[in-house]
Every structure is written in structure tokens, then in C-alpha cells.
Structure 1
Amino acid sequence: MDIFISSASRGLIPKDPLALSFLIIVLSVLILILFVIFLNTIHRLKVRHKENENMFSLYKTFINAEDNLIYLKDDKLKYVFVNKAFEYFFDLATHELTGHDDYELMTHEYAEKMRETDLAVLETESVVCKDIQYKKRIYRTTKFPVTLANGQTGVGAQIKDVTQEQKSIKQHEIHLHTLISIGDGVMVVDQNGMVEMLNKAAEKLTGWLSSEAVGKPYREVFPLYRDGGTVVSDYVADVLESGTDSEMKGNAILLSKCGNRHYIEDSTALIRDDMNKAIGVVVIFRDISAIKEQRDQIEYLSFHDSLTGLYNRRFFEQELRRMDTADNLPLSIVMGDVNGLKLTNDIFGHMYGDQLLVSVAEVLKRVCKKEDIIARWGGDEFVILMPKTSPEDAKDVMFRIKNECADIKIKAIKGSISMGSATKQTANQKIMRTLEYAEDTMYSVKTLERDNIRNSAIDSIVSLLHQNSKREKEHSLRVSELCQKLGKTLNLPDREIRKLKEAGYLHDIGKIVLEPELMNKNHLLTNLEWNEVKRHSIIGYRILNSFDNTLDLAESVLAHHERWNGSGYPKGLKGEEIPKLARIIAIVEGYDRMTHDSDNIKAMSKEDAIQTLKDNAGILFDPKLVDVFTEMVQEGTT
């Protein structure tokens, strides 16, 4: 009132009552407006505060719902705020945590680790991440600077238990290392068909380095073909589309960057993300070229003879049934039996016997048509199935085969084959009967040819032996002649004299197995060479025992190096255990060796040779036979 009076006294308040009333009303309205504004402001502030409280509560709810540990520290590194997970971890309430530092809550060692990263945040004013091990678990701390209400900088943090994650990463690394280091090839392809990774084995097989292959279409790095040359379909795309894994078992060829071909088998598996969506394919493959070759070899051997490469009996019998049709008439079968195989094996060993069989097989392949089925029927027997072949044509084939086989020579054995044939000419004939008839015919021919084959074989062996050593030829002739004369002196029967003469001629036939250099070497033999030479009596026995007309000579030839006192070979016989003809050959051979020059040994005189025989009578030689022989020589009956 004093104001108004003062104002009025200064002339500021109107003196007019009406004006004064108006002024009072205006002032009242202004005061009311200001009051309303004040109330609205207070309301808005309350609403905003409430919203902030709600938002803070919401934030706190979210933070408390987080499994990870979350906290806020002030500039003194004392806890200002922690979430529920933090409370649960330390088993403390918020009021027991706030206002305290790490040294009050945990071990000194762990507090030091926490303090180290907190200080790093404050010093660098940047985010600091570090993994810390606590009670055998691994925690990843992510700490960051926070500006506090007082303007100072505090530390906010999120701590996550990454133990399982680290184990998963380690397991993943182990798996990756395993894929990289395993012997199988591994290729990872993305959903677009681009290569993401090759391991070392895959690099070796494809010829691509992983660094070169990454980002390239997998079909460029891993081109697959079938045996016929056709390209394998885009099976990675098929797997991605179908959503199922697949396998390819050895029916594809991988062509490497440098042009090498590898037979492979592989398996293809989808790679899925956490949402089970296919994001790529892993292809695991291996080189099975060696395995396939082995399989092919097994399959080949199931139908082929391993020695000659011809079909085997099993396959022939299948083909015989298959080709037994009217379209193939006349259907001829030729059977052949190789002569001299056993003799070759006995004399020179199975390696040379195998050579004989292989040589005959080559002749059969050269002479026969492509349509013919040639098979090894048994040990030394072959069979040929010839469709649309008349009896005359079959005989012509046999003639050409026999002629070409005659040119074969394995050591001293000449090639020879006995053959027979039969032809099915009408549909009502039984093919098995045709086969039997061909076999019967072959055996009949072999029987008729036996004498010629035998004589030819003996002549061939002796001829080669004498060709290799002229000295052995002359020695054989002289021993044969002396044996015959001694047999007559002993008044042996004519049959025994004939045997003695032949045995004398063939007594060293076993030397056919010796190399010419060894056969002609007459001195300083090594133990190995001497053992080789001593085999000749056994080999001679085997040869002569192989033929009917020389069977009675075999024992004498076997024993002609036995000695009266048992010091000889090969059986160590003594005295009259030694066949008489062998005792005679031993004396005659010894005398002939002593009385004829060799390469470096000068011949003895007849007198010295006779004396040597007498000195060894009863030791090396039969004493009675020595007396008869020396008397015969001294009397000049020779």
C-alpha cells in the first residue's frame, strides 16, 4: 500500500479510480499467468523427472537382465553402480558394493588385475579390452571412460564369461588344424561356389596353392571327369540345393592344374550357420588311384591268367556258354599242349618254363583273330574258341601256330606244341562234347608225336652243350667209346654195353645249366662255382628221367661222381651201393680227364694216369674195375 501511495505520490498510479481498477485487473491477470506458467513448468519438470526415473528404471531393468557383469566406478575407482549379475557373482547386495573398491571385495591378485585395466582406461581415456582368468574361468573385460555428474571421469565396464567361447574357439582351431593337416584333401566352398580354403593335401592333389585358389570357382580348381571324359555335374550346387550330404566312390577323375589324373572318392557335407542355414560346402577327398589300380588288377586277374595275360579257364567257360549260338556257327575249338615245359622247369627252373609259356601265348595272340577267345586252360594247356570258323580254317590256324612255336628257343629247349581241334557245325550239337573231342584229339596227337619230341629234346640239349664247349663234346665221345670197350672186356651183356656207351656219352648232359665260362674253367674254382658244377649230375638225372628211352641211364648218370669210400656226390654212396655202370664211368672219365690237356692243366702220360688210378683204387674207385681197366689200357686194347 505504501508502494501504491509512494507511486501515487510520484504520479505513477492513475488517480482515476477506473484506471486504477483496470491496472489492478491487469496486474492480477499477469500474476495469474505467471503462476499458471510456474505451475505448468513445475508439472513438466515432474513429468520429465518421472520419465527420467522410468527410463532409468528401464535401463536398470535391462542392465540387471544382462547376464554379463556391469558396473560403474567413480574417479577414485570405487563402485557407484553394479547390476544384479555383479551382485550374484560376489554374493553381495548393492549397498555392500557401492562406495567400496576391488581390494575390499576380492583377492589382492585379482584386484591388481582389475585395477590395471581401470587405470589404463583413465590414462588413455579409451576402451580397453582384456581377458582375465579367475577361478579357472576366463572373463573378457571391456572397460570404457564415463563422464560423471561432477565432471570427473569414471570407469564403466562389462565383464563376460568367455570360458565356453574360448573352448569352442580352441576346438574350432583344433578342427581347422586337423582339416589342414589330415592326409585327405579338404576344400571349403561358399554358397556361391567359390573356394574359401584348401588344405595341404588338397593343394598337392589339385596342383593349386590355397592362396591361388581362394576366390576362384571350385570347378576351375577341382575339375572332375568320368572315365569316358564327360564332365561331372555341379554336385556342390546339387548338395546346396538338396540340403543333403553326398558321396562319390571312386568313379571320378580329378585333373590337376599340371595335368595329372587322380582317381578320387569324396564326401561332401553342408556347412550351416547358427540359424541352420546352408552357407557353404566342405569337400573331403582322397586319391584312390593305387586302390583303383589294385581293384582293376583283382578284376583283371579274376578273368585273366596272371602269367600270360590270356583269359583264364573261368572266363573261357563263361564265353563258351555265351557264344554257343547259331549266329556263331561253325564254332571251332582248338586245344594245345606245350611240349617240354616240365623238362624246362626241371633243368633250368620255373623262370625259364614261364618264358616258354609266355612265348607260346604271344604266338597264339599273333596268329588268332580279335574275335577269338584265347585262354590258358591248365598248366601247359591252351584253348582257343573261334566263332564262324570252319574245320579247315581251324587246321590252318593250328598249322601256323605250330610253325611259329618251332622258332621259339628257351635255352636248349625248342618250342613245340601238340594240338587238336573240333568244330560245332549244327545247332543240335553239344558244345561241351565239341570241347571234349578237341581235347581228346590233342592228346592223341601228343602221343603220336612223343618219340619225335623226345629225340628232338635230347638232341637239342646235347647240341647246345657241345656248342658251348668243344672240349666237352670230345670228352663225351671218348668216354662213350672207352666205356663200350671196357664193357666188352668185362663181358657184359650187349644190352648193358649199349647202356654203358649211351650213359658214357650223356654222363655230363647236366652241364647244360652251366655258363660256358664256368664249364670250360678247369682250375681254381670258388666254393660257389664248385657247388654249381656239382649240380650237373642231378640235372642230368632229371633230363634222362624225363624220357622213356633214357630212364635206364638216369641212375648211372646221377651216381657217376660217387666214390668208393663214400666221399663223392650227390648222395655219398660207397662201395657196391654205387651202380656198376656209374663206377665204370667214374674210372673212364677220370682217366680221360688226366690224359688230355685242358686250358691250364697239362695232360699226364698214360703211365702216370694208370698209376694214379691204381693209387686211388679202393679209395675213390672200384679196385676190381681199376685192375681190369688198367690192364686193358696197358695191353693196348684201346
Structure 2
Amino acid sequence: MTASSISELLYHSRLPVCVFQNGYCKYANPLMEVITGYNVDLLRQISFINTLINQEDRLDVEENIARIESGIDYHSECEFRLFNRQGMVLYIKAFFSLTELDENPAVLAQLLDITEQRLAGEALMVNAKKYSELFHNVNDAIVLIELTEDGALKRYLEANDVCCQMLGYTRDEILALTPPSITDDETKSKAVSIIEDIVENGKTRYEAYCIAKSGMKIPVEISSHLFYLNDKKVVLVSARDITERKLSEEETRLQKAYFQQIFESSPMGIVMLNSENRVIQVNHSFEAVFQYSNEELKGKYLHHYIVPDIYLEERFEHEPTALQGTIAQQEMVRKRKDGSLLHVDAVRYPIIFDDRQVGTYVIYRDITFQRQVEDQLKASEARCRELNDSLPEVIFEIDLHGNLLYVNRNALTFFNSTREEFEKGINVLDFIVPEDRDRVRKNMFRILNGEKIGENEYTAQRRDGSTFQIAIHSSLIIKDNKTAGLRGILIDITERKKIEERLKTLSLCDSLTGLYNRTYFEHELQRCERICPYPLSIIVCDVDGLKFVNDTLGHDRGDALLLAVAGVLKQSLRECDTVARIGGDEFAALLPNCNCSSVEKICERIRKTVEGYNAAHPELPLSISTGAATGEASRIRDLYREADNNMYREKLHQSKSARSSIVQTLMNALKERDFITEGHADRLQDLVVGLGKLIGLPEHKITDLRLFAQFHDIGKVGIPDRILFKPGPLTSEEFKEMQRHTEIGHRIAQSAPDLAPIADWILKHHEWWDGRGYPLGLKGKEIPLECRILAVADAYDSMTSDRPYRRAMSHETATMEIKRCAGSQFEPQLVLRFLQIFNMY
């Protein structure tokens, strides 16, 4: 081909075209000037390949041209990056073919600019990567299910990492299953209707159970959405594990059922009122006594139904004290639905929630029958005795000295005695415990002198020494216009006292420590302000580091500290002092008749008791900040504030040292136990230092690596020994508990200045190169280099050391396993460098 014919061909081409011979551009058309930025003359003078083509692509281009020039190939094509004169990078697709110039072989090159296509392709790859990261990093398990044309389930298309972890399957195992095989039988039976709902509405939400590979049923909340992917119907199913919520709901249901059982089984009528005194609920006994159903009274004011008109004002007499958080008791007349009247003994208890009163309980005991019995006794002694023998209560009469003149038949069973024993002569005090006898004598004297004292409670005792609670209501016996003795009714109130005590404990005591709560303490403050003699002292205490212990070691350990504080305070204070838990980590004590010198001695005694406790329990030290104040009871609120301020001043001085002491204790525990195997930390330090030096880490990084190797497992101080030293494989639940040690260690390290630089590494030292580690699911170089170094060294030392559940592997076996896991658990390059350590010795 002649030069003129080549020029004619190049000029009319619609693509940039040039002719190469001996590595240089001999001819080029105008479009080559456009794409390269060089005119034709310059293109002939420069080395086209070395000047314009990316260095990484030159060899491929040279080889293609050489094969054409040598006659090996007649046609070829390749892609390369071209730098134009303006410095822009263009993606070019070249089509080479053999030609002839001046009777010598040459190469004809036609260039196609594919820059836009390549950039669009790269953008698609970036979007695909973002979608994959989002798909696999969400908290919920997600699967994609393809539907057939008629809307039936066809196959699983994809499953994210969370789904695989939750169910225990690999991704390939899930994709090999047939939908809906990973759900329970009930959900499978509803699959057709569920899919119909999705197809009709585009989405649906329901609860179901997923079946893990182990067979375990996992409760989940499922949200499904229909969309189209490449003209295929696809359902995105998102499943959230609701196991904890289900357990919480079940616990709440059981507690409610337990309360309801106690409420409904009570022999006494009980009504629950809200803060506005409207009825929330009444029990069966209440319905039986007053003839109103729960539905009739719910949401209504109770006094509109059961208070006779003539007693409407009386209903308010006991309410003020109940609304102030105290217990109120009163005998009164009430009416039934049919209009008949009855006498009741009503006890009103406050309902306290979060240190505030949200309502009240009222317990009604129908005493109508007892009142009628008292009236009948006045009318006919004989008739009353016959009637008394049929009563479940004890009816008695005594003379002026307390000797029993008469008891009904039930008294024999009541006191486990015989009729002969009663007839021989028994004093009523014989059935009362010694500590209550003086009070019985005083009350008898009051009644004999004409005072009406109503019902009184005592502790009674039987012949066999057993005791029980009783209530006695007595009245005078008048003969010949003279007082001859007393008669009355004795009632076993054991069950009532149990209910009262249970309600009192719930309203006035702290359920964890058994100490009084803030409600009771506030009541005592008011009482002391009125009657407490001078001097009065107040001590306020705060548990240092409690939140830190709760966050790192769990609330069980925090509760144990609170119980220890309660024990220290009870041991250090006097019997006459009142101690209460008034907040989460705050305690307070009222000390009557206690001056400044005495309260200082008591505070010192608290400190000594804490020291004794810490000596006996070095595994978790106790630290208490205390503040005290002494003064007159009339300024008790000022005293409390002063004691509280003193406590906070002390807390500012020692809170940091308390937390440091706890952390230091945990660090010492780690050193002493050297978890799992003797010398693990020391060997691990040598391995990570060797690998760190081999890859050229600076000396300050090597120092941090030593510290990291020594304390990477400090979080295991918060893992129970039954899991930590279990001789066999862990269950899935135990493994989840073990995984918490990274987060526990992270929190501990953040609180220790010496460990703070490695806190982030402690959190991430169980992450895997492929993203299947924990707790964050990081992968690749998202994982800190120090964690990747430790992962290889820790795995090697673990495999070559004895464990409670297996013997140590040989060096060869361990290194083969590390090679196998390169690219999944470990960074491949670090594995190669790690194995070089052993080749150096």
C-alpha cells in the first residue's frame, strides 16, 4: 500500500486511525489529533506507546503489535488507558490489523473511546458493593425469595450474614433449601395466604418462628416486601429476633397471673382504686359481699355505690392518711346492692410505684355477723352460747382477773386444748406470748374502766408452743349493775397479717436489700422533725463505682455490692438507728440522740467495716463515700442537705480512685488466673513482638503490642467460671455469653488510664479477616493491624497449648490450620510473615 492510498483511507475513517511501523506512528488522521491532543507531525516524532499509553498497559499493546508485524496474527484487539496531552486519562479499545507500508509490514490501528462506558461500569460496581455492605451489615436477618409467575415460592436467591449466624446455616446451605423450609409448621401452613397478601398489598408483617439448623425455634417478627429484580418477582423477607421480648412478655404475664391469683383467692373483699379513687378492679370476695360485679364498678367512684347516704361524710375520715402514703384502718357501715347494711373492717393501703403513690388497696372484712353476735349475747346468754359453738371464731368470757369462765367449742381446736383443761381453770394470759401480756392487762383495765378500744391484735400461743396472730374485740359483762368481767371474740388473723405484711413490705421496704425505702425514710424524717430529741445526726452514703460494675460485670455483681453495703451499714449502726436505701446507689441513716463525736465514730466504724469486707472479698473491692451532719431535729431538712453535700465532697476525692481500685483488682485477677492456660500471656507477648518487629513496627507500637497481648482478655473476669473453664464445647447460649468478654474488656480498659490506648483493640480482637468475627463484624483492613497480628499469634498459642477440653496440637498441625484459615480468619500476608518467625530459629 502506498503512502497516498493510506492517507486517503485514514482521512475518510470515522474512527481515530493511525499506522505503526517499528514502534512509531507513521500516519494518523485528524481524529487522532482530537483524541490525543497532538498534531500529526508531533505524533510522528514521539514514541506513541511510551509517551501516551499507561505504563501498566504498554506490554500488552507492544505484544499485540509485534504479533501482527511478525505475521503470527492478522487481527487483534485490546484495551488500554491513554494519557492525552491535557493529562486526561481515556479508556481506549484498539482494533489492530496487518497492512503494508512502502513494501514493508505495518500495523493499522483503529481506536474506539470507551471512557464513558468504563466509568459507568465502575459506578455500578461501587453501588453494588454499597448494597452488599448494607445487606450484610443490617441488624436483621434478610433473605430474598424468587416467586414463580403465578406467585408461588420458587427458591432462595440470597441470605445475609445475620441470617446465617442466627440460623446456623452457611449461605450455600440456605440457598440449597426450598422455601419456606426455615420456618415452623404453622407458618408453612399459612405460606400460601401470606404470599397472596404480599402479592396483593406489596408487603405484610407478622410474627412467626424460624427453625435453626440445630432445630431450635427462634421467635421472629417478619416484614416482607415485593419487588421486581430483572423482570422476576422477588420477596425481601426481613426477620428480627424477638426472643428477649417474648421472654419479657412471658415473665410479665406470669407475674400478673401470680398477683391475680393472690388477689382473687383472698377470703376478704379487696378493691383497687386509682389516684382519683375510681375503681380499677374488685375481687370475687368483694363481689360476693357487696353484690356488685367488677364490670358494674370499674371506673366508678366506689362511695356512690356502697356508702349509705347518712355516712357519706364519714368516708373521707380515713382517706387523707392513705393518700399520704400511710396505712389507714376503720370500722364502718356499708350497704349492699340490695340496700341491706353491713358492718365492715376496712384497711386501706397505699400503692407505691417509683417512690410515688399511684393508688390504694382497700381490704374489707365483713364483721356484720360479729356485731350481731354481740347484740344477741346481751339478749340471751343461753341462745348466744348455742350460737357461739357454731361459729368459726373463738367466743370467750373472763372474770375481772382474766380467768376463763366460758369458751365456745371452736376454742378447743383453736388452742389445741381439751374441755377438761378449760374446766380446771385457765387464765386468758396463758394463751398469750409473754411479751404481749402486759399490753393485754393494760387493755383489760381500760375496757373495765369503760373505755371502748375496739379490736386489738396480739400473738397467741398453743399448748405445743406454736404461735399465731389473733385479733380480740371485747366488751363488758354487767351483772346486777356491776362489771363482772369481759366477753369477746377472738379471730385468727394469720392470713390477714400475711397479706398486710406483704403489702407493707412492698410499699415500705427495698426489695433487694431488705432495708427501708425512700417512702419510709421520708415518713421518718417528718416524724423525727416533730418528736426526735436533740441531738439528731444524719449519715448519707453513696456506693462508688456501682454504675461501672453494672456496666462491666453485670447487674448481678452490682446487686451483690448493694447487699454488701446494706450489711456493712447494719453492722456499723446502732439498733435504734433507721437505715434506708433512698436511691439506686444512695443510702441514708437517721441517728437519734447522737452528737458530733458519736457520729464521727460511727462513720469511722463504717470505714473499718468496709476495710474488713475488702480484706475478706478482694475479688471486688467496696468503696463508700459518706457524709454526716448533726443538729436539731427542727432543721432536719437542712441537716439532710448538709450531710448530702459532705458526702459528695468526699465522693469527688475518691470516686476516681475507687474505679481505679476496681480496675486494678480486675487486672490482678487476670494476672493471677492467666485464663485457660499457664503462661499464655507471656508466650503471646513473644509471638506478637516477633511478628511486629518482622513487619517493621516502631518501638512504641511494639510496647503497646506487649500490653495488648497481656490484657486482651481482661473482659473474661466478667464471664462465669462455669463457662470459662468448662471441660467440653460451649453451647450456643454459653458461646454468646463468652463473646461478651470483648465488650466488657473494652469498658474496663476505657476506665483504666494504663489500658485506655488499647481499649479499641480489646473490643475488636476477635474480628475475622472475612467479616465473620464479632462483635462488630469488621473485615479486611477495617480491623486494626494490632488485632490482626494478635489473632494469628493467639490462635497458634491456643492450638499448641493444653485446654480443659482437649490436648495441645503439634507445631506442624497448628501451622497447617493457620494456613487453612488464611483469607477467612486471618490476613493472608500476616500468616506468611508469621510462619517466617519459625524459619528464623
TM-score of the aligned structures, taking structure 1 as reference length: 0.55
Q: Which amino acid is 1:228 matched to?
A: D
Equivalent residue number for residue 198 of structure 1: 409
Contact between 1:407 and 1:414, CA under 8 Å: does it hold in 2?
no
Contact between 2:533 and 2:633, CA under 8 Å: does it hold in 1?
no
Match of 1:208 among 413, 417, 440: 417
Gaps of 5+ in 2: 1-384, 477-485
Distance 2:630 2:408 in 1: 66
Match of 1:544 among 745, 749, 764: 749
Contact between 1:340 and 1:413, CA under 8 Å: does it hold in 2?
no
- Please report how far the alpha carbon of residue 325 of structure 1 lies from its aligned counterpart in structure 2 after TM superposition: 9.4
CA offset digits 1:72-123 (Å, max 9, x no partner): xxxxxxxxxxxxxxxxxxxxxxxxxxxxxxxxxxxxxxxxxxxxxxxxxxxx
- Please report how far the alpha carbon of residue 587 of structure 1 lies from its aligned counterpart in structure 2 after TM superposition: 1.8
1:407 partner SS:
helix
CA offset digits 1:330-383 (Å, max 9, x no partner): 655443222243344445543443332232233233333445443333222223
Equivalent residue number for residue 228 of structure 1: 436
Q: Structure 1 394/252 Cα, relative in aligned 2: closer, same or farther at 3 Å?
A: closer
Distance 1:440 1:231 in 2: 44
Contact between 2:801 and 2:808, CA under 8 Å: does it hold in 1?
yes
2:542 partner SS:
strand
| 1:301-380 equivalent positions in 2, closer than 5 A | 302-320=507-525, 323=528, 332-370=537-575, 372-380=577-585
Contact between 1:412 and 1:460, CA under 8 Å: does it hold in 2?
yes
Contact between 2:677 and 2:802, CA under 8 Å: does it hold in 1?
no
| 1:433-472 equivalent positions in 2, closer than 5 A | 433-469=638-674, 472=677
Contact between 1:507 and 1:557, CA under 8 Å: does it hold in 2?
yes
- Please report how far the alpha carbon of residue 590 of structure 1 lies from its aligned counterpart in structure 2 after TM superposition: 0.6
Match of 1:611 among 805, 812, 816: 816
- Please report how far the alpha carbon of residue 285 of structure 1 lies from its aligned counterpart in structure 2 after TM superposition: 5.1
Equivalent residue number for residue 507 of structure 1: 712
Q: Which amino acid is 2:610 matched to?
A: C
Does residue 477 of the first structure (1) align with residue 682 of the second (2)? yes
CA offset digits 1:438-482 (Å, max 9, x no partner): 333433333332443233222212323443457546212333454
- Please report how far the alpha carbon of residue 179 of structure 1 lies from its aligned counterpart in structure 2 after TM superposition: 9.1
Q: Structure 1 449/487 Cα, relative in aligned 2: closer, same or farther at 3 Å?
A: farther
Which structure is larger by alpha-carbon Rg, 1 or 2?
Answer: 1
Contact between 2:529 and 2:633, CA under 8 Å: does it hold in 1?
no
Contact between 1:221 and 1:257, CA under 8 Å: does it hold in 2?
no
Equivalent residue number for residue 263 of structure 1: 469
User: Which segment drifts farther, 344-353 or 486-495?
Assistant: 486-495
Equivalent residue number for residue 624 of structure 2: 417
- Give the structure with the larger strand fraction: 2
Distance 2:653 2:429 in 1: 69
CA offset digits 1:466-521 (Å, max 9, x no partner): 43457546212333454455455555677765554433322222332456575455
Gaps of 5+ in 1: 1-175, 271-280
Contact between 2:455 and 2:474, CA under 8 Å: does it hold in 1?
no
- Give the structure with the larger helix fraction: 1
- Please report how far the alpha carbon of residue 565 of structure 1 lies from its aligned counterpart in structure 2 after TM superposition: 3.4
- Please report how far the alpha carbon of residue 616 of structure 1 lies from its aligned counterpart in structure 2 after TM superposition: 0.5
Equivalent residue number for residue 407 of structure 1: 612
Match of 1:594 among 784, 788, 799: 799
**How many percent of aligned residue pairs carry the same amino acid?**
33
Contact between 1:250 and 1:263, CA under 8 Å: does it hold in 2?
no
Match of 2:765 among 560, 575, 587: 560
Distance 2:468 2:429 in 1: 14
Q: Which amino acid is 1:419 matched to?
A: T
Q: Which amino acid is 2:518 matched to?
A: R
Contact between 2:788 and 2:827, CA under 8 Å: does it hold in 1?
yes
TM-score of the aligned structures, taking structure 2 as reference length: 0.43
Contact between 2:538 and 2:588, CA under 8 Å: does it hold in 1?
yes
2:612 partner SS:
coil
- Please report how far the alpha carbon of residue 589 of structure 1 lies from its aligned counterpart in structure 2 after TM superposition: 1.0
Distance 2:803 2:539 in 1: 52
CA offset digits 1:245-286 (Å, max 9, x no partner): x9964514443333333222367899xxxxxxxxxx997654
Q: Structure 1 460/289 Cα, relative in aligned 2: closer, same or farther at 3 Å?
A: same
For these two proteins, the number of residue pairs brought into alignment is 445
Equivalent residue number for residue 280 of structure 2: none
Q: Which amino acid is 1:398 matched to?
A: C
Equivalent residue number for residue 64 of structure 1: none
RMSD of aligned residue pairs (Cα, Å): 5.1
Distance 2:437 2:675 in 1: 63
Equivalent residue number for residue 273 of structure 1: none
Distance 2:651 2:417 in 1: 64
- Please report how far the alpha carbon of residue 620 of structure 1 lies from its aligned counterpart in structure 2 after TM superposition: 1.4
| 1:277-316 equivalent positions in 2, closer than 5 A | 286-296=491-501, 298-299=503-504, 302-316=507-521
CA offset digits 1:572-593 (Å, max 9, x no partner): 5544554544333322211221
